[in-house]
Amino acid sequence: MNLKTIRKWLIVGAAEVLLSLVLLSVAPIFLNSNKPAIGFAIWLAVPSLLGSSGLYVGLRAADAKKARTLFLKRFPEYDAIALAEFLDISSQQVLESLEMLDVLQSDPDFQALHLTPMELLKGIKKR
């Protein structure tokens, strides 16, 4: 399981929630002052901040699911691979690597390497 990516997302998420709570606690001060526009801006910025992060996570998870599906169509014997392994890889990268693998499989020098699909995934992540 790819814990580095999940850990980074959790740290960023916790920092965003903490920042949002601080901003929301400061907003009433501005609303009750002679600069209420700043308070309203804070009230609008906080949902935008949290919403955009949620949208990113949702889109990234959907792309990881698509990348996993592309990989499993080619290598169904690896169906035990978790979705978390694909969080760092875009579906486009998987598609390009599979196309490159199709071309390289006819090369005798490449066949001597005995590259497994898991090594292919690790190579995609290093790019």
pTM passes above 0.85: no
User: What is the rounded CA–CA span in Å between residue 38 and residue 61?
Assistant: 34
**Tokens of residue 42, six digits:** 């804070």
What percent of the chain has pLDDT above 70?
92
pLDDT tens for residues 19-60?
A: 999 999 999 999 899 999 999 999 999 999 999 999 999 999
The DSSP line for 64-114 is HHHHHHHHHHH-GGGTT--GGGGTTS-HHHHHHHHHHHHHHTT-HHHHTT-
User: Is residue 57 within a helix (H) or strand (E), and if so which, with residue range?
Assistant: helix 36-74
Q: What per-residue confidence (pLDDT) applies to 118? A: 74
Cβ atoms of 39 and 27 closer than 8 Å? yes
pLDDT tens for residues 110-127?
A: 666 777 777 777 776 665
**Tokens of residue 19, six digits:** 């920042």
Answer whether residue 1 shows pLDDT above 60.
no
User: What is the rounded CA–CA span in Å between residue 94 and residue 120?
Assistant: 9
